[in-house]
Amino acid sequence: MVTSERAPRTEHIAPVRRRADTDGAAAVRLDDARLSFGDRTLWQGLDLDVAPGEFIAVLGPNGSGKTSLLKVLLGQLTLGSGRAFVAGSPARAGNPDIGYVPQQKTIDAGVQLRGVDLVGLGVDGHRWGLGLRGRAERNRKVAAAIAAVGAEEFAHAPLESMSGGEQQRLRVAQALVGDPKVLLCDEPLLSLDLANQRLVAELIDRRRRDHDTAVLFVTHEINPILPLVDRVLYLVDGKFRIGAPDEVMTSEVLSELYQTEVDVLRVRGRLVVVGTGDTMDALGAAGAQHCHAEPDTSGVRA
């Protein structure tokens, strides 16, 4: 069944300011944040509170500042104005409350690194400049993280011998080994097949549900994580919208953001962005499956 995702037009979708039940602190907070490179402003006036255990999808075309947002929270980029906080403290490099999951990358032939070694980097501090005393404690943490992603069977194999899905499970384990309060995920499903996309997404979702870990998940494709997402932050050409998927992923909102006609359809539970060739060029990667004309629903996988 094909339905059009349309909603009443609104000038601004205000962020849902959910707070923790304990001390009221947000896991991630941005106050009137602006990020620019030279004369180009990626986004400004960005207010966002992410509650512990909340799953935020960060969407938008290439160059809209999605990865740059993560770099601000990692302390790798500095805001032009405004403030950024992670776990109640100003964003800074080497924050042990952050776990980072990168996109799947090809391992160079000849790199002598096992899965267990990759996970161990998250403890030894080679990634964030942190350190833990005690070899036994280190090994316990590494083993627990590997078990959490179900990677015991292949953790001692060379990385170059593993599939992309196996490598990505170990990258999730590396992000979890420090018991983070916030997971920052930068295209972690890229280049993975559907089965491994689902597996990696479920591992991240299980972590946030079991441990109240907040998740910011940068992606070009919302469909694999659509059932998991609490809110969407959509960045386009200096503008943004924040809200539930059904509030943001609509024809009206995306047309307003892109200043061009966009149709968002729901096909068998999947979101499909439909437009002309010129419209799709403007969209770039809009966070849902794209069609240049009305889709043949028989060819769209549920």
Would you list the DSSP string of 251-276?
HHHHHHHHTS--EEEEETTEEEEE--
Pairwise CA distance, residues 280 & 260, whole Å: 10
Q: Which two tokens stand for residue 138?
A: 């280190």
Q: How far apart (Å, rounded) are the C-alpha atoms in residues 195 and 8?
A: 36
Q: Is residue 129's pLDDT more than 90?
A: no
Structure confidence at residue 301 as a pLDDT band (50, 70, 90): very low
Position 288 scores a pLDDT of 53
pLDDT tens per residue, range 47-90: 999 999 999 999 998 889 999 999 999 999 999 999 999 999 99
User: Which strand (E) or helix (H) includes residue 32?
Assistant: strand 28-37
Listed by start position, the domains of the chain span 2-6+243-299, 105-179
Residue 262 binned pLDDT confidence (cut-offs 50, 70, 90): confident
Look up the pTM and report it: 0.81
pLDDT attached to residue 176? 95
Rounded-to-integer distance, Cα 283 and Cα 90, Å:
34
- Stronger pLDDT, 128 or 254, i.e. the higher one: 254
pLDDT in tens, 11-33: 333 333 343 343 468 999 999 99
What mean pLDDT is reported for the chain?
Answer: 82
Q: What is the DSSP string of 134-197?
A: -HHHHHHHHHHHHHHTT-TTTTTSBGGGS-HHHHHHHHHHHHHTT--SEEEEESTTTT--HHHH
